[in-house]
Chain A
């Protein structure tokens, strides 16, 4: 478990700050394929070309798009065109009290649930009775969905099972199939 924690911390340091906005810049590698930077986060093609394995600075994320600085040329890539596990170190905001734009505030007073709490605690079957009484009214689901403006997708939604990738070396070229180039999509916006 200790080894696992150390490994996680290692990746935390490498990755933290990738998506923290323009004030926090990290470095990532473009390893998936040779790409041309997009001018806008909508698939508008640009002139700057990058070789597979090139390093870029990640500036910010907008939906599934990532703005990068490639040696002074700024542009956009699809997030899947970057290998985040291969990111190299850069300035991060991990040691600040207030991290990014989320609701995450570092605090020393809070405590979590430990493995010991879960293993040696006494089961509480009275609370289970309360949990058993909690459920939803199927007749109310449609109204809940409609009130929230949630529109179920009519498209086929399926993700492919992927295999964990080993961190790439900077010198090696990527192998295997490359994903299809990003195309302009009406719904790729900034929210």
Chain B
């Protein structure tokens, strides 16, 4: 029992270390916005969703200064959203889908598994003196940058959409908002520099929508009440401050 516990703690600690290095690489390209109220808002919303993820992490949610339409989920519970993506959204429910999608990437260890596979490949190539396992955080950061530039398997994106919708719906948000977000993404031109990386690293929004429809998203219960004015107000305030 004790052995299982310590193994679990050790794995989580390594995830956090990888997550910090990966975050450093993304933040090297675009720093955090400096607005405490906005960052607090996105952390409260992310925190409320994470309670339905079925996993325990020290979650950290940040917003980066970038026109890009993108979001990044790092191992260990680090999540970064671009200001450009947030400005394209129209409700807290839509933001809940974006956050829940990224939370699902973390809990399913999508990026961490890619890092682990790279480590194994490194070990095979260099023997026991592989350097990426420990210590070399800069190298780990650069390797992480390559993962985010290349993207994950389509199946990982579809899974995060599906689990993300489950998380947001359990938390009390409207699953229709997921369709709204994919609709918005579909409206960006393929050569729009803001969305170029998103389109090269993700399945097309129409594929993602079709997968959600096939999964039964339109059979999910919707909230009984319309979003409260207070919810809409705090989201608008958030939008205006980023």
On A, residues with C-beta under 8 Å from B are 1, 4-5, 7-9, 11-12, 14-16, 18-20, 61, 63-64, 78-80, 83-85, 87, 93-94, 99-100, 102-104, 106, 110-125, 127-128, 130-132, 134-138, 140-141, 144-145, 147-153, 155, 157-165, 179-180, 187-188, 191
Return chain A residues, CB-CB under 8 Å to B172. Answer: 145, 150-153
- Does B97 lie at the interface of the complex (its beta carbon under 8 Å from any beta carbon of A)? no
Question: Knowing A104-B184, A134-B61, A151-B172 touch, does A128 contact B20 (C-beta < 8 A)?
Answer: yes
Contacting pair B212 A159 (CB below 8 A): yes
Bitwise, B54-74 to A at CB < 8 A (1) or not (0) is: 000011111000111110000
Question: Knowing A79-B213, A150-B231 touch, does A127 contact B162 (C-beta < 8 A)?
Answer: no
Give the size of the chain B interface in residues (CB under 8 angstroms).
Answer: 107
Return chain A residues, CB-CB under 8 Å to B170. Answer: 152-153, 157
- Does B204 lie at the interface of the complex (its beta carbon under 8 Å from any beta carbon of A)? yes
Closest chain-A Cβ to B198's Cβ sits at a distance in Å of: 8
Q: Name B's interface SS.
A: helix
Instruction: Determine the distance from Cα of A9 to Cα of B189 in the docked complex, in whole angstroms.
Output: 8
Bitwise, B184-221 to A at CB < 8 A (1) or not (0) is: 10111111111111111000111101111111111111
Instruction: Determine the distance from Cα of A93 to Cα of B187 in the docked complex, in whole angstroms.
Output: 8
Number of A-B contacts (CB under 8 A): 283
Instruction: Determine the distance from Cα of A33 to Cα of B184 in the docked complex, in whole angstroms.
Output: 28
Please list 26 pairs of residues, one from A and one from B, whose beta carbons are closer than 8 Å in the complex, sorted by A's number. Answer: A1-B200, A4-B200, A11-B204, A15-B206, A64-B217, A85-B207, A110-B193, A117-B30, A118-B148, A121-B145, A123-B24, A124-B31, A125-B137, A127-B27, A127-B32, A131-B62, A135-B59, A144-B44, A148-B228, A150-B48, A150-B173, A152-B52, A153-B171, A162-B211, A164-B210, A187-B221
Contacting pair B28 A161 (CB below 8 A): no
Closest chain-A Cβ to B84's Cβ sits at a distance in Å of: 7
Contact residue among B45, B52, B78, B142 (Cβ-Cβ distance under 8 Å from A123): B142
Bitwise, B1-41 to A at CB < 8 A (1) or not (0) is: 00000000000000000001101111111111000000110
